[in-house]
Amino acid sequence: MKFSLKNKVAIVTGGGSGIGKAISKTLAQQGAYVHILELNADNGTITKNEIEQDGGLAEIHACNVANQEDVINVINKISKEHTINILINSAGVAHIGNIEKTAEADFDRIYNVNVKGVYNCIFSAIPHMKKQGGVIINMASVAGSVAVSDRFAYSMSKGATLTMTYSVARDYMDYGIRCNAISPARIHTPFVDGFLKANYPGKETEMFDKLSKAQPIGRMGTPQEVADLALYLCSDEASFITGTDFPIDGGFIKLNG
């Protein structure tokens, strides 16, 4: 079977919802034993149950990726029972606003989760992965590569995610560790629906159409499409790929304008 992850152990942060959930379920379907790190343990439990109902293997670990001690403890616990082969850094938060509308507390929140959270997880997993090699995938964004209006703090965090990806790929190549990034444009997740309901009541359909058409292809992506790309990058079929960012954006970066 192509893209098999049989006998592989994967850690997925933010695996209880959206893109992280789709990745968790897809890796499990291909044979991986998936460990979900979630701040919202209830969401993580739902994903775990769905994986098990499909015959897969999963565990849920309540974890705040912004807290290094918390992350180290969870990953060390996992490593005592399993060899860690895959780390997917999918946990993240969003913020809308230019620099004048980004309060220090907003900036700190984005940094702590989207930047420090990625750092904490890689920092904690690398010592274990060095023993046998492995794969790290960081969820970045098109906002880390091109200008997107009113995404100052979010863009900062995703730019940092990209440069961490390149550094880790270079520094740990000799240990058999591959590190890549995925940069989605707009993906239709429950977050999008909640954002439209909160900010554009009564105009949800109109705004959804507008946001969809921001991608030249004319629609938003799906979490499953991102998960399928992540699956490929985790698989042995992608063994020649490292230190690369993969936009999955309906032409957003290259074809706009």
Mean pLDDT by 10 residues, the chain (257 residues): 96 97 98 97 95 98 98 98 98 96 98 98 98 98 95 98 98 98 96 88 94 95 98 98 98 89
Residue with tokens 């880390």: 144
Q: What is residue 124's three-state secondary structure?
A: helix
d(CA 83, CA 115): 25
Residues serving a catalytic function are 154
Q: What pLDDT, on the 0 to 100 scale, is given for residue 106?
A: 97
Tokens of 104: 């220090």
- CATH 3.40.50.720: does it fit domain 9-185+222-250? yes
Give the residue from 219, 96, 74 showing the smallest Cα distance to 154.
Answer: 96
Q: What's the angle, vertex CA 87, arms to CA 183 and CA 171, rounded to 5?
A: 80
Q: What pLDDT, on the 0 to 100 scale, is given for residue 256?
A: 82
Greatest CA separation for the chain: 55
Q: Specify the pTM.
A: 0.96
Give the residue from 1, 50, 4, 57 showing the smallest Cα distance to 28.
Answer: 57
Give, for 86, the enclosing helix (H) or strand (E). Answer: strand 86-89
Going by C-beta distance under 8 Å and a sequence separation of 6 or more, which residues neighbour residue 195?
Answer: none
Intervals of CATH 3.40.50.720 along the chain: 9-185+222-250
**Is there a contact between 187 and 223 (Cβ–Cβ < 8 Å)?**
yes
Type of residue numbered 51: I
Q: Read off φ and ψ for residue 68, nearest 5 degrees.
A: -60, -40
